[in-house]
Amino acid sequence: MQLKNDLILRTIRGEQTERTPVWLMRQAGRILPEYRAVRDRLSSFIELVKTPERAAEVTIQPVDLLGVDAAIIFSDILVVPEAMGLPYEMVENKGPFFPETIRSEADFRRLKVADISDDLAYTPEAIKLVKRELEGRVPVIGFAGAPWTIFAYMVEGTGSKTFSKARALLYNQPAMAHRLLQMITDSTIAYLKAQIQAGADLVQVFDSWAGILPEEHFDNFSLRYIAQICEAIHEAPITVFAKGAFASLQAMRYLPCETIGLDWNMNIQVSRKVLGSSKTLQGNLDPAALYADFKEIEKNTKAMLDAFGPYQHIANLGHGVYPDTDADKVRCFVDTVKEYSMRMRES
Ligand code: CP3
């Protein structure tokens, strides 16, 4: 199926497009009342993730309701540990919880490399449905967590401000940490390939907890495994979003990936300089900027677009959209990117 809107893909290839493409991290699920309506008909978040028809439905909602230039498949990064043998629960209003965690060799020995066709077929299945229903309106983004971020949840067992148990393991049992990271990496490569095979037009790796590692640990326990993933994925372009990894941007320049996501703390001009001209950049408006009034949102969005310049930029927030954001404010952000980035090219 030929894509009718391939702005993102042309931008990634470095082409001079007619305007800047835009989508939002966490656009599916967090903010739309239409998502709640679908979600409330099922017993849980996890059931929704595992029901391809419904996951497909909520994946497409932001395309219709927000006007974004891509759909991101509705799932979660924590489906990978589950497929490796470590199930999770999603506690309402609290977040993920793993009844069992990985802290010792004995815990580690119970895990396996995920078998996608057995344990993770529901996401590729949902992607196939999304592709069919979208009929090429916009590209579909597949995703996975970066090995370090997945490791952090598997060791800690819940979200955490410090992930101190996960970080302690890097100091106390580095050899085991590497073995676990390698197993997550192997599972993730197979999972991303299955998503692309099912029709994902590009994929993104989320390293949400990159920023809590010292530079040396990020390079050694995170970036190294992200690089393995980038080296293994040739079938579609790949975006790496390592939140808080500003100190390692220089090293990320050499990742074999097409796009680097910037968080809102990263200076746009400095990042562009450090990353060089071969990378497309994605981001990076502060998600809190969408709490402002419409005029202020327009102003900040335009300033961001000016800083990135017209080409090799995919407009997005610097992290996922916050759950209590007004959908009209999101639409203001999306519409401003579309209108202003077109005008930028005329002047
Ligand atoms: O981007 C999208 O809209 C697609 C769907 C998506 C979800 N999770 C659905 C979800 C994506 C891309 C994710 C990624 C994810 N999940 C990350 C990386 C991105 C980031 O924000 O840093 C992380 C760290 C997780 C782990 C996770 N899942 C947490 C911490 C939580 C708790 C609450 C929250 O929203 O952050 C989740 C639950 C979750 N994942 C929900 C949704 C829609 C909310 C639960 C519900 O609907 O009941």
pLDDT in tens, 222-276: 999 999 999 999 999 999 999 999 999 999 999 999 999 999 999 999 999 999 9
Asked whether residue 66 is assigned to any structural domain, the reply reads: yes
26 flagged as catalytic: yes
Per residue in 4-61, pLDDT tens? 999 999 999 999 999 999 999 999 989 999 999 999 999 999 999 999 999 999 999 9
Q: How many domains does the chain fold into?
A: 1
Strand-strand pairing, 89-91 and 95-97: antiparallel
Ligand 1 centroid to Cα of residue 58, in Å, is 13
Retrieve residue 155's tokens. Answer: 């060791």
Tell me if 18 sits within 8 A of 339, measured CB to CB: no
Confidence category of residue 118, pLDDT binned at 50, 70, 90: very high
Asked whether residue 302 is assigned to any structural domain, the reply reads: no
Ligand 1 centroid to Cα of residue 29, in Å, is 8
Confidence category of residue 1, pLDDT binned at 50, 70, 90: confident
> CA 286, CA 3: separation in Å to the nearest integer?
30
CATH of the domain at 13: 3.20.20.210
39 flagged as catalytic: yes
Asked whether residue 337 is assigned to any structural domain, the reply reads: no
Q: Measured from the CB, is residue 340 less than 6 Å from ligand 1? A: no
pLDDT for the residue numbered 283: 98
Closest to 16 in 3D by CA, of 347, 279, 345, 258: 345
Alpha helices (H) in the chain, listed in sequence order: 7-12, 33-40, 45-49, 52-66, 79-84, 105-109, 116-119, 122-134, 147-156, 164-172, 174-198, 215-217, 224-232, 249-252, 268-275, 294-308, 327-346
Q: Concatenated DSSP letters for 183-199?
A: HHHHHHHHHHHHHHHHT
Asked whether residue 331 is assigned to any structural domain, the reply reads: no
Closest to 148 in 3D by CA, of 210, 190, 72: 210
Which structural domain range is residue 315 located in? 7-287+310-320
CA 27 to chain centre: 11
> CA 156, CA 146: separation in Å to the nearest integer?
16
> CA 34, CA 58: separation in Å to the nearest integer?
8
76 flagged as catalytic: yes
pLDDT of 106 strictly over 90: yes
Q: What is the arithmetic mean of pLDDT over 208-219? A: 97
Asked whether residue 2 is assigned to any structural domain, the reply reads: no
Asked whether residue 329 is assigned to any structural domain, the reply reads: no
Strand-strand pairing, 238-242 and 202-207: parallel
Asked whether residue 326 is assigned to any structural domain, the reply reads: no
Instruction: Write down the pTM of the prediction.
Output: 0.97
Q: Measured from the CB, is residue 95 less than 6 Å from ligand 1? A: yes
End-to-end CA distance of the chain: 35
Asked whether residue 162 is assigned to any structural domain, the reply reads: yes
pLDDT for the residue numbered 294: 98
pLDDT for the residue numbered 301: 98
Q: Measured from the CB, is residue 143 less than 6 Å from ligand 1? A: yes
Amino acid identity of residue 85, one-letter, is G
Ligand 1 centroid to Cα of residue 347, in Å, is 39
Task: Kindly provide the b/e burial profile for residues 144-177, where b requires at least 16 CB atoms within 10 angstroms of the residue's own CB.
Answer: bbbbbbbbbbbbbbeebeebeebbebbeebeebb
Candidates 19, 54, 69, 76; catalytic one: 76
CA 163 to chain centre: 20
> CA 124, CA 198: separation in Å to the nearest integer?
5
Per residue in 177-201, pLDDT tens? 999 999 999 999 999 999 999 999 9
Residues 6 or more apart whose Cβ sits within 8 Å of residue 304:
268, 284, 285, 315
Q: What is the arithmetic mean of pLDDT over 66-81? A: 98
